[in-house]
Structure 1
Amino acid sequence: MQLLRTIAFIVIFYYLFRFLARIFGPVLFRYASKKAQEKHGRSQHSRNQGGNREMRKEGEVVIEDTPVNNRKERTPASGKKVGEYIDFEEID
């Protein structure tokens, strides 16, 4: 009897979840997509408002590189520097 009661609760909750998801799903999806769109718009706006960049002509190519001292060197998780990688082939 307990097994049938448990199965009945599972089935009832399943159909209740499906019903509620059908009602509230589109509303939640619209809300999430609106928030994502706003976030994307803010990031684009801040990127376009870059403070010290001068206006460039259309088609002009500029390569901006970070200084060497700011680059992170590849190190393992322990933080110790490792020697250079050597590729080798096995000889029979």
Structure 2
Amino acid sequence: MIYEASAMGFLRTILILLLIYFGVKILSRLFAPLILRFVAKKAEQKFGQQFGGFQNQKQSNQKRAKEGETVIDKMPENHKSSNDDVGEYIDYEEVD
């Protein structure tokens, strides 16, 4: 069987697609804040679990320090070295 496309069928399809598009658009405006809030809360819980141990360790170090005492958790490493293989810098001037 061969089916022929009719103008009413085409318009009906376009109307259904537009209704679906605008329906999804309206529903996303209603539910997007709820979904984003849920995702943010889950991410906050996940980060809290990962980094919770570091905060507890830092608080315990602060409690052990006496008033006026300086506590250094980590000494910075001084590995400043220049690369001499690069060459020298030449400042060029534009000649007219």
Instruction: Describe the SS at the equivalent of 1:26.
Output: helix
Match of 1:61 in 2: 75
The percent identity for this pair of structures is 28
CA-based RMSD: 2.4
Report which of the two structures shows the higher radius of gyration computed on alpha carbons: 2
Of 7, 12, 35, 1:5 maps to: 12
More helix by share: 2
TM-score, normalisation: structure 1:
0.52
Instruction: Describe the SS at the equivalent of 1:20.
Output: helix
Pairing 1:26–2:36 present: no
Per the TM alignment, residue 12 of structure 1 is displaced from its structure 2 partner at its CA by 0.2
For residues 42 and 62 of structure 1, what CA distance do their matches in structure 2 show?
A: 28
* Runs of at least 5 residues in structure 1 that lack an aligned partner in the other structure: 64-92
Per the TM alignment, residue 2 of structure 1 is displaced from its structure 2 partner at its CA by 1.4
* Runs of at least 5 residues in structure 2 that lack an aligned partner in the other structure: 1-7, 62-70, 78-96
Per the TM alignment, residue 61 of structure 1 is displaced from its structure 2 partner at its CA by 3.2
For residues 42 and 29 of structure 1, what CA distance do their matches in structure 2 show?
A: 20
TM-score, normalisation: structure 2:
0.50
Aligned length: 58
